[in-house]
Amino acid sequence: MTKDEWEALCDGCGRCCLHKVEDADTGQVYYTSVACRLLDIKTCRCRRYKERFQCMSDCLMITPDTNTDVFRCLPETCAYRLVAEGRELEWWHPLVSGDPMTVHQAVISVRDIAISEADIHPDELDEYLSTLIIELCSSVKRKPGPKR
């Protein structure tokens, strides 16, 4: 896979840029709805993508050589995780739909869900845990049917 093909696998959902909380007893990773301060909430793209690793020390680098154990930290919908697990891309993935907007239309992206960490106090992180789970479960859209 070329570098461009690898980059194109990213659906632009922005979910991996949400802060996570790990259960110390079970190792289970939970997402909060609080996004990295560099994420543009409207476009769901990193504002400093090229220099992200210099800007954010905890930003995770994913390459074709990344140990697949790392993928459990990614959302279940993430294309990198789907490919690593041998699963198909969903209908809303831009490489399938041909339209970069379908990831937003399917409510897979965090556009209408996330809040920037710049807008909250660090001690408030846990308060944004349950909100996200409820919103993600209730909002994912099915593929639209043919127009009549």
Residues near 116 by beta carbon (within 8 Å), at least 6 away in sequence? 34, 35, 37, 39, 41
Which DSSP category does 33 fall into? E
- Of 32, 33, 34, 39, which lies in the binding site for ligand SF4, with binding defined by CB under 6 A? 39
Tell whether residue 17 is a contact of ligand SF4 (CB under 6 A): yes
Q: Shortest approach of ligand SF4 to residue 106 CB, angstroms?
A: 12
Amino acid, res. 12: G
Amino acid, res. 47: R
Q: Shortest approach of ligand SF4 to residue 101 CB, angstroms?
A: 15
Residues near 128 by beta carbon (within 8 Å), at least 6 away in sequence? 32, 33, 34, 115, 120
- Of 34, 36, 41, 113, which lies in the binding site for ligand SF4, with binding defined by CB under 6 A? 36
Instruction: Provide the token pair at 43.
Output: 């476009």
35: left (phi over 0), alpha (psi -120 to 50) or beta: beta
In terms of DSSP H, where are the helices of 9-120? Answer: 52-55, 79-84, 94-97, 102-105
Tell whether residue 18 is a contact of ligand SF4 (CB under 6 A): no
Site for ligand SF4 in 85-124 (CB under 6 A): none
User: Which CB atom, from 50 or from 148, has the smaller least distance to ligand SF4?
Assistant: 50
Tell whether residue 14 is a contact of ligand SF4 (CB under 6 A): yes
Binding window for ligand SF4 (CB under 6 A); candidates: 12-20, 84-92, 111-119, 139-147: 12-20
- Of 34, 79, 84, 113, which lies in the binding site for ligand SF4, with binding defined by CB under 6 A? 79
